[in-house]
Amino acid sequence: MTHAPSLRRSVFALAVALSPLAAQDERESTQPVASIFQVNASAATVEGYVNQGYRITDLEIFDEAAPRFSVTLVRNTAGYGVSGWWWYYGLTSVDVRNYLTQNQARPIDIESYLDGNGTRRFAVVMVSNTGAAAKSWNLFLGSTTTTISNFLSANGHRLVDIDGYTSGGARVYAAITIRNAGTDARAWWWYLGASQAQVTSLLNQNGARLVDLDPVGNGTYDLIMNRTSGVWGYYFGQSASAVTQLVNQYGRRVVDIERASSSTFDVILNNNLDGRGIRVSQILNTGATGYLGAYLRRVDGSNSTVLVALNEGTRFEPASTIKTLPHAYAMYQCSRNQLSLGSSLTVGLGSVGSCPNGGAPYVTETVGESLRFMMENSDNARTKRIVDLLGVSAINAFAGTLGMPRTSINHVLGCGGPSSNWTTLEDLASLHDYVADGRIPGFRSQFYDLMVNARTYPTVGTLSIESIISAEAASEGVSGSSLTAFRDNITYAAKGGNYDWPSTPQFHGSYFGTISLPFVIAGQVVYQQYAVGAFFNDSTDKAVAFNAIGGAYCEMLREEIRLALRSWRNYVVGSHTVFGTACAGSNGTPTTGGSGTPGVGGVVGYWTEGAPPAMPAVMYLGASRSNWNGIPLPFDLGSFGAGGCQVLTDPSLGLPLATNAQGRVSGQVRIPPDIGLLGQRFHVQFWIVDPPANRLGLITTRGVTTLVGVNQ
pLDDT at 97 over 60: yes
Cβ(539)–Cβ(680) below 8 Å: no
C-alpha 405/C-alpha 391 separation (Å) is 18
Mean pLDDT of 568-573: 67
Quick one: how many helices (H) and strands (E) in the chain?
A: 17, 36
More confident call, 502 vs 103: 103
pLDDT at 710 over 80: no
Residue 426 CB neighbours (<10 A): 23
pLDDT confidence of 17, banded at 50, 70, 90? Answer: very low
% pLDDT > 90, the chain: 80
Q: What is the pLDDT of residue 485?
A: 80
Q: What is the pLDDT of residue 570?
A: 63
Cα 377 from chain centre = 36
pLDDT at 7 over 50: no
Cα 642 from chain centre = 37
Mean pLDDT of 494-519: 90
C-alpha 390/C-alpha 405 separation (Å) is 20
C-alpha 693/C-alpha 708 separation (Å) is 35
pLDDT at 556 over 60: yes
Q: What is the pLDDT of residue 674?
A: 75
Which structural domains are found in the chain, ordered by start?
A: 14-272 (no CATH), 293-569 (3.40.710.10), 575-707 (2.60.40)
pLDDT at 4 over 50: no
Q: Say which DSSP state 202 is in.
A: H
Can you state the percent helix, strand and coil of the chain, rounding each to 5? 25, 40, 35
Query: What would the pLDDT profile of 195-215 be if each residue is shown by its tens digit?
Result: 999 999 999 999 999 999 999
C-alpha 280/C-alpha 547 separation (Å) is 12
Cβ(655)–Cβ(14) below 8 Å: no
48 φ, ψ (degrees, to nearest 5): -60, -40
Q: What is the pLDDT of residue 571?
A: 56
pLDDT confidence of 391, banded at 50, 70, 90? Answer: very high
Average pLDDT, the chain: 91
Cβ(710)–Cβ(521) below 8 Å: yes
C-alpha 370/C-alpha 368 separation (Å) is 5
Query: What would the pLDDT profile of 618-674 be if each residue is shown by its tens digit?
Result: 999 999 999 888 889 999 999 999 999 999 999 889 999 999 999 999 999 999 877
Q: What is the pLDDT of residue 378?
A: 96
Residue 361, classified by CB atoms within 10 Å of its CB into exposed (0-12), middle (13-18) or buried (19+), is exposed
Cβ(127)–Cβ(105) below 8 Å: yes
pLDDT at 489 over 80: yes
In whole angstroms, how large is the CA radius of gyration of the chain? 30
194 φ, ψ (degrees, to nearest 5): -85, 140
Cβ(561)–Cβ(517) below 8 Å: yes
pLDDT confidence of 528, banded at 50, 70, 90? Answer: very high
List Cα–Cα distances, 367 to 174, 330, 364, 411, in angstroms: 72, 9, 10, 22
Residue 626 neighbours by CB under 8 Å, 6+ apart: 632, 633
More confident call, 41 vs 504: 41
pLDDT confidence of 521, banded at 50, 70, 90? Answer: confident
pLDDT confidence of 15, banded at 50, 70, 90? Answer: very low
Query: What's the number of CA atoms in the CB half-sphere (13 Å) around residue 602?
Result: 22
Cβ(254)–Cβ(72) below 8 Å: yes
Which of 152-156, 181-185, 566-570 has the highest mean predicted lDDT (pLDDT)?
152-156
% pLDDT > 70, the chain: 94
